[in-house]
């Protein structure tokens, strides 16, 4: 059995919301098996919304969840960190509607989870294993998932900008590969979009401390963390958005020019196509991360 996990002890951090600009304190708290990831608004008397595709609402350059009067924005980077470190069950408590952006990546959340420690529970984790291909296309944006023995992601981006004409990367996910190759890739924004976003009341907390800002000729930040940090961040985003399925995936996810709206619509579509997947338990040997690793590597 590959047990579900939670964190060992409660832990907190503080930051600001990328879009709201509000100060926020985020606390992670241990939770029981099969309770999943739940966001709790301490400032609304503890009202909760589950991290589930059915609650997606308010996609505006970030992924938001809504249920009745509860709203939580910009959940994707934290969700990517939780699913990639195999944290199945946790309460995420906030005193404001937006998850703090931290440095624009998932690395600070990885650090937070590692500081809290990981606690195995006594209930088996179930993975969603893809049995046949599924896809969703909207204009020139496309996302699909194919059967595979592992969770793999291939992402490609193409922007009308010399630095971002084409970037593509494939990664087989494990706890280690996520931490080393994806978690620290930061969000990015085009300078000529910043003013328009701010007029819409978005990106109010954005700065060079929490986003790569791209001008016509280059980046305003000192340096990139990876040559292809942009596509790595898109992989981070799609992992976080697909985590709203509520179970770790076994399949090869392939996306081209996606965004949060496409990712989360696809998560809901996958859940609805119940004949295209099955739930499986991991192998006993799969003690680390969310990805079964006992089977031999298949080159494809
Ligand atoms: Zn992002």
pLDDT, tens digit only, all 300 positions of the chain: 899 999 999 999 999 999 889 999 999 999 999 999 999 999 999 999 999 999 999 777 899 999 999 999 999 999 999 999 999 999 999 999 999 999 999 999 999 999 999 999 999 999 999 999 999 999 999 999 999 999 999 999 999 898 888 999 999 999 999 999 999 999 999 999 888 888 888 889 999 999 999 999 899 998 999 999 999 999 999 999 999 999 999 999 999 999 999 999 999 999 999 999 999 997 644 434 455 443 433 333
CA 182/CA 166 separation, integer angstroms: 18
Q: What is the pLDDT of residue 140?
A: 95
CA distance 34 to 11: 21
Confidence (pTM): 0.93
3-state secondary structure of 240: helix
Question: Both tokens of residue 167?
Answer: 């970037």
For 274, residues 6+ apart whose C-beta sits below 8 A from its C-beta are none
> What pLDDT, on a 0 to 100 scale, did the predictor assign at position 58?
74
CB 187 within 8 A of CB 250: no
H helices of the chain, in order, are 76-84, 107-116, 175-177, 191-199, 229-242, 260-272
146's enclosing H/E stretch is: strand 141-146
For residue 222, the model assigns a pLDDT of 87
Catalytic residues: 260
Q: Write down the pLDDT at residue 293.
A: 43
CA of 240 relative to ligand 1 center, distance in Å:
9
CA angle (218 as vertex; 212, 223 as ends), nearest 5: 50
Calculate how far, in angstroms, residue 206's C-alpha sits from the geometric centre of ligand 1.
13
- DSSP letters spanning 199-210: HTT-STT--TTT
Are 186 and 104 in contact, with CB atoms under 8 Å apart?
yes
CA distance 296 to 99: 38
pLDDT value at position 283?
A: 61
Q: How far is the CA of 186 from the centre of ligand 1 (A)?
A: 7
Sign for the pseudo-dihedral over CA of 101, 26, 200, 66: positive
Instruction: Give residue 258's pLDDT.
Output: 95
The helix/strand/coil state of 221 is: coil
Q: Cα of 274 to ligand 1 centre, how many Å?
A: 28
């Amino acid at each position: 059995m590959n047990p579900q996990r939670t964190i060992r002890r409660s832990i907190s951090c503080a930051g600001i919301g990328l879009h709201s600009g509000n100060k926020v304190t985020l606390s992670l708290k241990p939770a029981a098996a099969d309770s999943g990831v739940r966001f709790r608004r301490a400032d609304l008397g503890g009202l909760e919304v589950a991290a589930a595709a059915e609650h997606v609402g308010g996609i505006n350059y970030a992924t938001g969840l809504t249920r009745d009067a509860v709203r939580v924005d910009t959940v994707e980077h934290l969700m990517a960190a939780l699913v990639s470190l195999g944290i199945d069950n946790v309460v995420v408590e906030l005193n404001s509607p937006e998850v703090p952006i931290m440095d624009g990546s998932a690395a600070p959340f990885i650090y937070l989870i590692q500081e809290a420690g990981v606690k195995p529970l006594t209930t088996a984790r179930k993975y969603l294993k893809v049995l046949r291909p599924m896809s969703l296309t909207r204009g020139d944006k496309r996302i699909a998932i194919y059967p595979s023995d592992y969770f793999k992601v291939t992402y490609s981006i193409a922007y009308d900008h010399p630095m971002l004409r084409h970037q593509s990367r494939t990664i087989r996910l494990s706890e280690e590969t996520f931490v080393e190759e994806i978690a620290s890739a930061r969000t990015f924004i085009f300078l000529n979009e910043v003013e328009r976003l701010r007029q819409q009341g978005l990106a109010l907390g954005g700065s060079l401390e929490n986003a790569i800002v791209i001008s016509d000729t280059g980046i305003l930040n000192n340096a990139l963390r990876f040559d292809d940090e942009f596509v790595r961040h898109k992989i981070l985003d799609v992992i976080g958005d697909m985590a709203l399925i509520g179970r770790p995936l076994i399949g090869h996810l392939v996306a081209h020019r996606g965004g949060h709206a496409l990712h989360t619509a696809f998560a809901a579509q996958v859940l609805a196509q119940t004949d295209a997947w099955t739930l499986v338990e991991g192998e006993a040997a799969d003690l680390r991360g969310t990805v079964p690793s006992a089977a031999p590597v298949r080159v494809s």
